[in-house]
Structure 1
């Protein structure tokens, strides 16, 4: 159902049961899946690929060109997964030649005034609170929870099932399963409540906690901590995910509590 005061380019592809409210503008080269609702005063630029049963609230801008002076007009995309909600005045820029896409996964909530810059990759089931600002090329893994007004430096990676305190300046990578806060951003324990809500067993959580004791609580540098973890702790998917994340971190991981 399209209101007569909305503008939809004839080349845009809208599936059955898409609702577009008045004063919204949808450009060409846009695809929107079934059951999605587009509120008033939304602007959707070329390159947007919006999934099924999404909700885009008033004032949001999807797939605007990157705020990157190196952008050369290449054909890129802003992809939004099924069942994702984007609240008022959030902005999602499309990609550049680096990844050719900015992508938000399924079942996510981006609250008001969130900015997702070019080439960011956000996983499934993430909650990004009000006014979180992401630089380009940021990666946020599944089930992350980012508190309001966090600012995320470009190229930062944030692991699965993390909880970051509101107002944080995120300059370093945030390993999976952790809580973090303070300034500079620091380890504040394992996100045990979030893990239990996601079905992790007490044994799994205890193993994660023991892994992070080597990383953050024994006074070891990262190389020694990783070596000791492999020697002393049995292999598990969670242990190996932590090891691989730290080994592959290009910016370095957040600090421990001092």
Structure 2
């Protein structure tokens, strides 16, 4: 049997692993599935079609799986899916998806989500990210692996943030942020690349050299986005170890629309 506090309200239809713990006064709905080793603190509400993986730690006063804040939503059975080994701190709110956005809001693995973070409908967050206090992302936002959002960062709907990027405290992202970029401001502008973060993750000198060259092509030579992409594509010959990083950048830029653009 799961370790459920006597004051918690857990629907008999919910699927809880025997190693799950549910704190006082928490509520778990009938369409919820929670995997092994996950702990849910007191006064949490987990509802809707919500699936939570293993070894997550969910602190008090968290709301997961509530209906989205999209006025088009008509009660369709959309989902919230949370992976493994995530920490979700107090007063965070993560909503289910919408039919128009694919039906699923998704949080990956090994993410560190601080207090008051918000994932709106149809957001997709990768792995190993850090959302500092009050980081808020609107609907349909995509966040790559290893991204760090500074406290009070706000991200406009449909914006994409590439892997290994970072925002400063209070940033407002209105455009796509390519991989590796560090931004700050209201609206946010690109300031540098996340070189220190890459070193800490074991990037070789050659891979970091490729990132520096991509930064120069995008932001230091006055190129159009198409010209920058052509310049970046040629970096594979100069930096063979960075071929994967270059391709990731090219794939990201290829999906950027003229209407959205990238942070500048």
Instruction: Flag whether TM exceeds 0.5 (same fold).
Output: yes
Task: Give the match for residue 120 of structure 1.
Answer: 123
- 1:89 partner SS: coil
Task: Give the match for residue 30 of structure 1.
Answer: 32
Task: Give the match for residue 142 of structure 1.
Answer: 145
CA drift of 1:132 comes to 1.0
Greater mean deviation of Cα atoms: 177-186 or 25-34: 177-186
Task: Give the match for residue 263 of structure 2.
Answer: 254
Counterparts of 2:219 and 2:50 in 1: how far apart (Å)? Answer: 41
Greater mean deviation of Cα atoms: 113-122 or 236-245: 236-245
In structure 2, the gaps of 5 or more residues are none
CA drift of 1:231 comes to 4.1
Task: Give the match for residue 16 of structure 1.
Answer: 18
For 1:222-237, what aligned pairs fall within 5 Å after superposition?
222-231=225-234, 234=237, 236-237=243-244
Q: Deviations over 1:179-202 (max 9, x none)?
A: 111333111111111111111111
- 2:4 partner SS: coil
Task: Give the match for residue 80 of structure 2.
Answer: 78
* Contact 1:63 1:93 survives alignment (8 Å): yes
Counterparts of 1:103 and 1:232 in 2: how far apart (Å)? Answer: 33
For 1:143-158, what aligned pairs fall within 5 Å after superposition?
143-158=146-161
Counterparts of 1:223 and 1:175 in 2: how far apart (Å)? Answer: 14
In structure 1, the gaps of 5 or more residues are none
1:91 aligned to 2:98? Answer: no
CA drift of 1:233 comes to 5.2
1:245 paired residue among 228, 233, 252: 252
State the TM-score, normalizing by the size of structure 2. Answer: 0.94
Runs of 4+ aligned residues of structure 1 deviating over 3 Å after TM superposition are none
Counterparts of 2:185 and 2:105 in 1: how far apart (Å)? Answer: 29
Counterparts of 1:232 and 1:69 in 2: how far apart (Å)? Answer: 46
Greater mean deviation of Cα atoms: 229-238 or 115-124: 229-238
Task: Give the match for residue 62 of structure 2.
Answer: 60
- The aligned length equals 255
Q: Deviations over 1:13-61 (max 9, x none)?
A: 0002101111000010100001111000000012110110101111100
Task: Give the match for residue 192 of structure 1.
Answer: 195
* Contact 1:81 1:105 survives alignment (8 Å): yes
For 1:41-52, what aligned pairs fall within 5 Å after superposition?
41-52=43-54
* Contact 2:210 2:235 survives alignment (8 Å): no
* Contact 1:80 1:105 survives alignment (8 Å): yes
Change (3 A) 1:226 1:106: same
State the TM-score, normalizing by the size of structure 1. Answer: 0.96
